[in-house]
């Protein structure tokens, strides 16, 4: 964190506006974790940053903590807004972001000190608009977590459109990536769908891949993803999770138009998820959700039965749900 004396020194530096990274951090009742998150951002070796903390109607001290950080470091901006969910908070940050690059960090996560410096270097050297680094999943009792991808040596790979698009199912995070701001500024504007309350990242990430056509991959691990037991991701089945099907259906439509070679595999995953939700007891108790999913399966039954890479058990379930 910059000291009071450090402010004027930093302000006096010749900082090119085009080199700034706008880091968007949605914050909701994160008083327990926000310090770890923001401190890791402020300790970045890449200092040219605009840090946008979006207080999404927190009911704890998170908002006050955000304001405290803004008073201590001029690079921090705070937005206080009515609670609207993760997608709404990220969109609010995107609407005021002014940097050349865009990054997203969740308020209970943290990053390695050289993450953004490595990503900017990769983006400029490889001439790409999206860069991904390795990610570590951390539980509360773990110090280092376990690496999804950590070779210890930083090297770059380029993923073409098909490979990048396929990666959204296993590594569909927005937070371990750096984006060129051009992707969100061009029209039609790419934004998060606020109707999606679960797995919000994958649809917009696919939209970004379509717009730029490729992604660079840094093999070293730089991002710590905290497995929060109180988040929607960390909880058992919840009806809000069904909203993910909105995004998955969009992804199928995108593949139909732009990546037809992936269309069948994406549809198989989408319909399998729909049927999986229908098999949940909680879904069957909700007439609204049950009807919505059953109608989707029923009207697409012929297509479902024709998908070669879809599990036979799900096809049988689709037939049953189309009859009852």
Tens digit of each residue's pLDDT (9 = 90 or more) over 228-286: 766 544 445 578 889 999 999 999 999 999 999 999 999 999 999 999 999 988 887 88
Tens digit of each residue's pLDDT (9 = 90 or more) over 182-209: 999 999 999 999 999 999 999 999 999 9
At 231, list the tokens: 């988040």
Mean pLDDT over 286-309 rounds to 94
Q: Residue 6's pLDDT is what?
A: 42
What's the per-residue H, E or C state across 165-213? HHCHHHHCCCCCEEEECHHHHCCCCCCCCCCCCCCCHHHHHHHHHHHHC
- Of the listed ranges 117-121, 152-156, 181-185, 307-311, the least confidently predicted one is 152-156
What sections of the chain are H helices per DSSP? 4-12, 34-42, 62-72, 86-96, 115-126, 161-166, 168-171, 182-185, 201-212, 244-258, 263-278, 281-285, 287-299, 301-306, 312-323
Domain 4-226 sits in CATH at 3.90.550.10
Question: What percent of the chain is predicted at pLDDT more than 70?
Answer: 87
Domain residue ranges of the chain, discontinuous segments joined by +: 4-226, 239-323
Q: Residue 237's pLDDT is what?
A: 52
More confident of the two residues 219 and 167: 167
Mean pLDDT over 74-89 rounds to 97
For all residues of the chain together, what is the average pLDDT?
Answer: 89
Q: Residue 283's pLDDT is what?
A: 82
Mean pLDDT over 81-108 rounds to 97
Q: Residue 147's pLDDT is what?
A: 40
Tens digit of each residue's pLDDT (9 = 90 or more) over 113-152: 999 999 999 999 999 999 999 998 876 545 444 344 444 5
Indicate the SS3 state at residue 44: coil
DSSP for 93-127?
HHHH--SSEEEE--TT-EE-TTHHHHHHHHHHHHT
Mean pLDDT over 71-77 rounds to 97
What is the value of pTM for the model shown? 0.89
Q: Residue 230's pLDDT is what?
A: 61
Indicate the SS3 state at residue 234: coil
């Amino acid at each position: 964190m910059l000291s009071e004396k450090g402010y004027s020194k930093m302000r006096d530096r010749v900082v090119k506006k085009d080199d700034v990274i706008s880091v968007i951090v949605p914050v909701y009742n994160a008083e327990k974790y926000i310090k770890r998150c923001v401190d890791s951002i402020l300790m970045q070796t890449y200092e040219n940053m605009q840090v946008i903390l979006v207080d999404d109607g927190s009911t704890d001290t998170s908002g006050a903590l955000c304001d405290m950080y803004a008073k201590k470091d001029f690079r921090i901006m705070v937005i206080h807004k009515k609670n609207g969910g993760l997608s709404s908070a990220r969109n609010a940050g995107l609407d005021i972001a002014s940097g050349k690059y865009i990054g997203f960090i969740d308020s209970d996560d943290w990053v390695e000190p050289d993450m953004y410096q490595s990503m900017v270097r990769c983006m400029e050297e490889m001439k790409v608009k999206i860069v991904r680094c390795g990610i570590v999943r951390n539980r509360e009792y773990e110090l280092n977590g376990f690496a999804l991808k950590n070779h210890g040596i930083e090297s770059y790979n380029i993923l073409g459109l098909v490979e990048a698009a396929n990666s959204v199912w296993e590594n569909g995070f927005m937070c371990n990536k750096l984006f060129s701001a051009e992707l969100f500024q061009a029209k039609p504007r790419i934004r998060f769908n606020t109707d999606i309350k679960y797995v919000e990242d994958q649809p917009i990430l696919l939209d970004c891949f379509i717009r730029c056509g490729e992604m660079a991959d840094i093999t070293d691990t730089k991002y710590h993803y905290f497995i929060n037991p109180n988040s929607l991701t960390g909880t058992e089945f919840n009806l809000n999770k069904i909203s993910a099907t909105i995004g998955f259906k969009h992804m199928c439509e995108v593949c139909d138009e732009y990546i037809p070679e992936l269309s069948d595999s994406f549809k198989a995953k989408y319909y399998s998820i729909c049927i999986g939700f229908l098999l949940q007891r909680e879904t069957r108790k909700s007439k609204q959700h049950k009807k919505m999913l059953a109608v989707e399966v029923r009207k697409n039954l012929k297509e479902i039965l024709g998908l070669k890479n879809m599990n036979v058990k799900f096809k049988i379930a689709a037939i049953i749900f189309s009859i009852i």
